Amino acid sequence: MPQRRRDSRETLLILLGGLLFLPALVILAWSLTEALLGAKSRVENAALATADDIVTGADYRLAVYEGVLGTYSTAPSLANRDWETSRGRAKEVVELSPGLTALLVLEDATGRVVMGPREEDAGATRPQLVLSGQRPFVLRGGEGCPCVVLRHPIQRLPGYSVVGLVQPEVFQAVLLKSHTPGTVAALVDAKADFVGRSLGFQDRVGTPATIYVREAMTTGARGLYRGRTHEGLENYSAYVTSTASGWSAHVAVSHSRIDSPRLWLFITFVGGALLALLAAVAIIIYALKDLAARRRADEQMLRLQKGEAIGSFANTLAHDFNNLLTVIIVNLQSIQKADAGPDVSRKAGMALEAANRGANLTQQLLSFARDGGGQLVPIDVTGLLTGVSELLRQSVGGGISLSFVPPRSSVSILANRDQMEMALLNLALNARDAMGGSGRLEIAAQQLGDRVEIAVSDNGPGIPPEVRNRLFEPFVTTKPAGKGTGLGLAQVADAAAQAGGTVRVESPKQGGGLFCPEPADRLMC
């Protein structure tokens, strides 16, 4: 009992440990999920912050140039159409404004230049400079370009505007200042043409951005989208669009930097769920196995207790019955010695033979009850089969074709002869009952190394799998109620065990049964 209590405590501790493992696994999976989500969010937020910085820097530069154009547009010389004075003033403003390359005055309706850096510029038509209304934009072709075009109306001279041309390098510098390694950054105007770009700036400035950029600009002021750069880089891009200028900054991050956390997030989630499920299944399986083992142990204990009770009862019964048989045998012997006539003597002899057999049976029962107390003697296997053959033929009946196969050479075993004969008789009777009184029965003996196998085989219906592992337990039988005691095969196992061997049972798919008592370690050659 103390051992069983210790086993119960150990099992309880294992189950508690397993149950505590499940929430720990869930917490670990949750922690990994949070970490992966955090990594993904950090990449996205960093890209959005970079785009925000670029747009903010670009808006600041545009505001500076807008202020310069606004101040210049209030010059009295413009209102008075004094183009020569206005040209001189424009040169001074350009010299004082880094990045500003030219100031022009255009007629809004036609794009005709009325004042330019040179006198000969007057009269030229440049309608592309007024196509975008008041918003700044980038222009790739034309004199003084690529350039960023800014336009400011002249309040005191309606129908005319001041146009400033700014070098795109000014905004490229803003972009590169905020750009982080490992990303591709771009700044586009409201028409989605490149103003600045971290890759191929000279080739891309003033050219249209990808369709992914243009579509993103129509969906909102900021966000994240998946796309592909002109170079073919699969990416996720964070973008921020200015409400003031309409310009938009886009920061492309390799898709692996976002997809990898997503993939690991999925793997972690699914893996954690599977591990938790497997752990739960393992705990359930362990609990079920432990429960089954306990049931087997309880059943074994019950069988042992039952065996002890049966042994005690059988011992008492056999002892008392043996005393009665002793009285009967003594009196029968007295009758045989007396001159009572041939008929009486013959009948007394038959009764005496039956009584002696009953005495032998009681001795076997006593031996079984005492767990192998029978006397072990050298037995010639061929003689054993010959001696029991007639008894078996009479016992199984004429419907059974009984054959014996003795060992090829003389071999002896150390066993209890009565027990071995009773074991063969029990196996033969079981085979007869299984075959319904008609069939083939063979008892064959052979030497296998230091063992002797005595195989009893028949061509009956076979042995049900559900009872095959319990055949040799006391009171286990496949016969209908009232047809068997369940002690026959238990006696067979006991006889083999006393001889130092075991019993093997086989039941082929085509039917039939094979019992092989194998006495061992006591081979007498």
Sign for the CA dihedral angle at 319, 323, 325, 326 comes to positive
Q: Pick the closest to residue 231 from 263, 198, 206 (CA basis).
A: 198
250 close to 216: Cβ distance less than 8 angstroms: yes
Distances (CA, A) of 189 to 135, 194, 219, 240: 9, 7, 16, 12
445 close to 412: Cβ distance less than 8 angstroms: no
Domains, the chain? 75-166 (3.30.450.20), 374-516 (3.30.565.10)
487 close to 437: Cβ distance less than 8 angstroms: no
Distance in angstroms (rounded) separating the CA atoms of residues 339 and 316: 37
Sheet holding 222-228, edge to edge: 194-197, 183-188, 248-254, 234-241, 222-228
Distance in angstroms (rounded) separating the CA atoms of residues 358 and 373: 18
Distance in angstroms (rounded) separating the CA atoms of residues 223 and 3: 67
Strand, helix or coil for residue 474: coil
Each of the 525 residues of the chain gets a pLDDT tens digit; together they read 444 554 555 566 565 655 555 565 555 555 555 444 445 677 788 899 999 999 999 999 999 999 999 999 999 999 999 999 999 999 999 999 999 999 999 998 888 899 988 888 888 888 777 655 678 999 998 888 899 999 999 999 999 999 999 999 999 999 999 998 888 999 999 999 999 999 999 999 999 999 999 999 998 888 989 888 888 888 888 999 999 999 999 998 876 655 555 555 555 656 666 666 666 666 667 667 776 777 776 766 666 566 566 666 666 766 677 777 777 877 777 777 776 677 777 777 777 776 776 776 666 566 555 555 567 888 898 988 888 888 888 888 888 898 999 988 888 888 888 888 888 888 888 888 888 888 889 999 988 888 888 888 888 887 777 776 777 776 666 666 555 556 677 778 787 888 888 888 877 665 555 555 655 444 332
Strand partners, 452: 447
Residue type, 436: G
Q: What is the DSSP string of 242-285?
A: -TTT--EEEEEEEHHHHHHHHHHHHHHHHHHHHHHHHHHHHHHH
Q: Pick the closest to residue 167 from 179, 151, 149 (CA basis).
A: 149
Buried-exposed string 356-388: b where 16+ CB fall within 10 A, e elsewhere: eebbebbbbbbbbbeeeebebeebbbbebbeeb
